[in-house]
Amino acid sequence: MMRKLATSLVLSCIAFTSVNATADQLDTVIQRGTLNCGVVLDFPPMGYFDGNNQPAGFDVGYCNDLAAALGVESNILNLTWGDRIPSLISGKTDVVIGSTSDTLERAKSVGFTYPYFVFKFQVIAPKNKNIQSFDDLKNLKVGAALGTTYETEYLAYAEKKGWGTDNYTAFKSENDAYLGLYQGKVDAVISTNTNIATKLQSAEFKDFAAGPFVPNYDDVVGLIAKRSEGAWISYLNLFLVHQIRDGNMNTHYNKHFGSDAPADLIQSLRDNK
């Protein structure tokens, strides 16, 4: 009798452990009642702090929409570019909606969803630098935020052209890169067309201008989650489909960019390109 009881207890423990082991991130978020969503909040208009020092921006709107779809509270966590992947691996965040380029190298560490936005990489510099082409950067001091795809693309282009890296400065954050540009520590910064457009609307950058784009590159970005969380990533993919289908994507684009989302952008996202 004791042996049968012990066996039953062991089997019950195994069954309980198996149930817990199969619980995925989707279940965890719903049961917890809170979505821990990572956003880079020095990257307007995708992520920033508003006049009340509250998280705002396109990516923040997506976090809040996702939490609402799940029926949970939204907890926005401010990340640097370099924090995005470690925050997932450590369990600090459930998902990062942080304009993360869907490179094959990053996909070795984290799981990507369908694309949810497409950027262009561009130069911003003082107007008196008169940068007409990307090759004009050869003899200028150039900077970018550390760990970004535009840093990678610039360095790859510089290597291909044989420029070397003596004129390059990596900044810890996006804000640091723009501060370095404003202070004259570098002659030009590589960033996204959306962030540059925002900066040029400010009084501090009235003497600056948007320059050429990084040649032959569209920056396609996705949400990221733990690579092993297939069910969670599937849910996030469906969420992105509904953002377009239900009009939420266009609403956020209008709010933060002042116009409807371009038809070619919507089509690109529908095609998952």
| C-alpha span between 179 and 22 (Å, rounded) | 47
Q: Which residues contact 98 (CB under 8 A, 6 or more apart)?
A: 38, 39, 40, 47, 59, 79, 81, 84, 224
Domains and CATH numbers, the chain: 28-118+219-270 (3.40.190.10), 120-218 (3.40.190.10)
Q: For 60-82, how does the pLDDT look when each residue is reduced to its tens digit (9 = 90+)?
A: 999 999 999 999 999 999 999 99
Query: Please, what is the Cα angle at 178 between 173 and 180, to 5 degrees?
Result: 95
Q: For 148-201, how does the pLDDT look when each residue is reduced to its tens digit (9 = 90+)?
A: 999 999 999 999 999 999 999 999 999 999 999 999 999 999 999 999 999 999
Report yes or no: 123 and 203 within 8 Å, Cβ to Cβ: no
pTM: predicted TM-score of the whole model, two decimal places: 0.81
Q: For 82-136, how does the pLDDT look when each residue is reduced to its tens digit (9 = 90+)?
A: 999 999 999 999 999 999 999 999 999 999 999 999 999 999 999 999 999 999 9
| C-alpha span between 223 and 69 (Å, rounded) | 16
| C-alpha span between 62 and 116 (Å, rounded) | 10
